[in-house]
Amino acid sequence: MSYLKQYILHKTGLLTFYNYWLFSGLHLFLMKWKNRSQWEEIKNEDLFYSGLLSPLKKSDALIFDIGANYGWTTLTFLKFSSQVIAYEPDINNLKILRYRFGDTNRLVIEAKAISNNIDGAVFYQNRNNSALNTLSLKWVDALTNGVYREKKIFTSEKYKVETSTLDIEMRKYGKPVFLKVDVEGHEYSVFEGLHSSIPLVVFEANLPEFVDETLSILEYIKNLDQNCSFNFAYNYNLQLKEYVNTDVLALKLKECNFSSIDIICRMSSYSNHFNDV
């Protein structure tokens, strides 16, 4: 959506109705023909996560979706688990998530951000419902100044959101078997709130601006589980033939020419919850 169109919809109060239309069955059907590239991206993301989760041994394995956004990954996760906790601080995205999924005991939607503290944080909006919204000032600066991908316009709207940590949420819901983290530059802070291993983890890395933070995450995870192994995906396609250790992946990331990748981590308890494939 263009910034002007977004602004008009927001000011006229029609944005919520527009978003409901975006996720109606008719619009999703038409998307296949009207916006083929977007449809292909959604389909490829679904295939990527389906491939990771299809070996799950139990259908009630707990899944944490950190940065649920519009709920596309949430939808995929619900195909494999009856226990999904979706975390999303964006007030507009929360409306969409509740509209899409309604009341179900298979999904809990938490209106909060995951970080390294419970003090709350300022949430910056690129545009309403944008996947680029963030808690990271470094991310805002990188996009606003055009040093990452293309220059983006951040609206003046920002607001305080509730924060929690993975440790706290795990005490509340239990330890997840799978954790997805997509929080636009705030990933390291998310992992700082975790002090135990999780069988399977996927997190986004935006390169090269956040390569140092990404390398710090790898070391952090290694300290949680010395036997962890990694792979990474670009455009939802795995790039390595086999999983590698922290040092090997770190070298590959320093040479990586991709701007945005997903890093997959298997920890030592992976085989307890996933079948061999």
Domain at 119, CATH number: 3.40.50.150
Select the more confidently predicted residue: 92 or 248. Answer: 248
69-78, 142-151, 254-263: which has the minimum mean pLDDT?
142-151
Residue 83 lies in a domain: yes
With 0-12 CB in 10 A as exposed, 13-18 as middle and 19+ as buried, what is 102?
exposed
pLDDT confidence of residue 241:
96
* Local confidence band at 16 (pLDDT 50, 70, 90 cut-offs): low
User: Half-sphere exposure (CA, 13 Å, Cβ side) for 230?
Assistant: 25
Q: How far is CA 109 from CA 41, 101, 264, in A?
A: 24, 9, 24
Q: How far is CA 160 from CA 32, 41, 119, 179, 200, in A?
A: 37, 31, 10, 25, 31
Residue 52 lies in a domain: yes
1-15, 60-74, 116-130, 140-154: which has the minimum mean pLDDT?
1-15
* Local confidence band at 204 (pLDDT 50, 70, 90 cut-offs): very high
Find the mean pLDDT for residues 214-240.
98
Residue 243 lies in a domain: yes
Do 117 and 55 meet the contact criterion of CB atoms below 8 Å apart? no
Residue 250 lies in a domain: yes
pLDDT confidence of residue 141:
83
Instruction: Provide long-range contacts, Cβ within 8 A and 24+ apart, for 53-59.
Output: 53/77, 53/79, 53/80, 53/81, 53/178, 54/80, 54/277, 55/274, 55/275, 55/276, 55/277, 56/80, 56/81, 56/177, 56/178, 56/273, 56/274, 56/275, 57/273, 57/274, 57/275, 58/177, 58/273
Residue 3 lies in a domain: no
pLDDT confidence of residue 258:
93
pLDDT confidence of residue 132:
82
pLDDT confidence of residue 105:
92
57-61, 152-156, 216-220: which has the minimum mean pLDDT?
152-156
pLDDT confidence of residue 140:
86
Do 190 and 218 meet the contact criterion of CB atoms below 8 Å apart? no
Per-residue pLDDT at 191 exceeds 90: yes
CB atoms within 10 A of CB 14: 12
Mind listing the pLDDT tens digit for each residue in 51-77?
999 999 999 999 999 999 989 999 999
Name the pTM for this structure: 0.89
pLDDT confidence of residue 28:
63
Residue 259 lies in a domain: yes
97-101, 160-164, 236-240: which has the minimum mean pLDDT?
97-101
Which string of b and e fits 266-277 if b means at least 16 CB within 10 Å? bbebbeebbeee
pLDDT confidence of residue 149:
61
Which string of b and e fits 140-164 if b means at least 16 CB within 10 Å? bebbeeeebeeebebbeeeeebebb
pLDDT confidence of residue 11:
56
Could you tell me the residue range of the domain that residue 223 belongs to?
A: 37-273
pLDDT confidence of residue 92:
86
Do 185 and 70 meet the contact criterion of CB atoms below 8 Å apart? no
Distance CA 149, CA 258 (A): 11
Per-residue pLDDT at 15 exceeds 60: no
Do 22 and 69 meet the contact criterion of CB atoms below 8 Å apart? no
Per-residue pLDDT at 46 exceeds 90: yes
CA torsion 257-208-86-115 (nearest 10°) is 160
Per-residue pLDDT at 211 exceeds 90: yes
Residue 9 lies in a domain: no
With 0-12 CB in 10 A as exposed, 13-18 as middle and 19+ as buried, what is 111?
middle
Total structural domains within the chain: 1
Find the mean pLDDT for residues 257-261.
92
Residue 12 lies in a domain: no
